[in-house]
Amino acid sequence: MEKLVSQAIVENYFNKLQDSLDIDTAIVGGGPSGLVAAYYLAKAGKKVALFESKLAPGGGMWGGAMMFNDIVVQKEALPILDELGVKYKLYKNNAYLIDSVHATSALIYAATKAGAQIFNCYTVEDVVFKGNRVCGLVINWAPVSREGMHVDPLMITAKTVIEATGHDCMIARLVARKNNVRLNTTDGNVAGERSLDVEEAEKTTIENTKEIYPGLYVSGMAANGVSGAPRMGPIFGGMLMSGLKVATLIIEKL
């Protein structure tokens, strides 16, 4: 039995990895926008894998606000919650409350059930860049990156890549810097996020969700980060709608 357990896991894991070496969409980051994008892409029959450096995907959604584990969404995002089977209740006006642990686990469950492959404990350390196009990811074990060990990575090729890394926009930053190219952002580079403005940020998150370089799309807080738009705090409608928008753009393109 000991051998069987190990064999089952090793064989299946490497089949999953092998099957994800050349895909339609590779997503960097398993926060709410990345998970929603993974769900809609998988549902549309696209081959999609999401790479998350932490043990648990979910990004900034688990913790609610200041570890009070509730989040707020607006009415516009309710169709996405209904589609994913997330429970919510009206607080007042246009503010709906969701238990953040329920919401985060529901997003992970929906994405994986739809057929998206999630690889946790992977850090994306670079992209594959050929012929002025982003066409894949350079991946490594997260502990290898964290320890600064000198271990070479592996590569994933993908028709499209989504940067959903949140506030840091590390993929867009490295694409612009390493390859000396201009991005499709306000100043051709990563502007960095502005201070908090809930209503403005929720609007611009959707507007800034787009292809910022051939093959490279940006969603969620990273979309605002690259374009110099504000942060928004513990309101998540924009994140969910950004995930849906980026999936829709890619489905139209592929």
222 belongs to the binding site for ligand 48F (CB under 6 A): yes
| Pairing of β 48-52 and β 117-120 | parallel
Phi, psi of 4 (to 5 degrees): -60, -45
Map the footprint of ligand 48F across residues 51-110, applying CB under 6 A. Answer: 51-54, 59-61
**Structure tokens given for 189:** 């580079």
Across-strand partners of 118?
50
Segment contacting ligand 48F (CB under 6 A): 7-15, 32-40, 101-109, 178-186?
32-40
> Toward ligand 48F, which CB reaches closer, 10 or 97?
97
Look up residue 61 and give its DSSP letter. Answer: G
> Toward ligand 48F, which CB reaches closer, 24 or 193?
193
156 belongs to the binding site for ligand 48F (CB under 6 A): no
> Toward ligand 48F, which CB reaches closer, 120 or 184?
120
Q: d(Cα 40, Cα 59) in Å, to the nearest integer? A: 18
Q: Binder to ligand 48F among 26, 28, 169, 218 (CB under 6 A)? A: 28
Q: Binder to ligand 48F among 220, 241, 244, 249 (CB under 6 A)? A: 220
CA distances from 125 to 51, 72, 122, 166 (A): 11, 32, 9, 15
Q: d(Cα 170, Cα 190) in Å, to the nearest integer? A: 9
Q: Which residues bind ligand 48F (CB under 6 A)?
A: 28-34, 51-54, 59-61, 123-124, 164-166, 170, 220-222, 231-236, 239
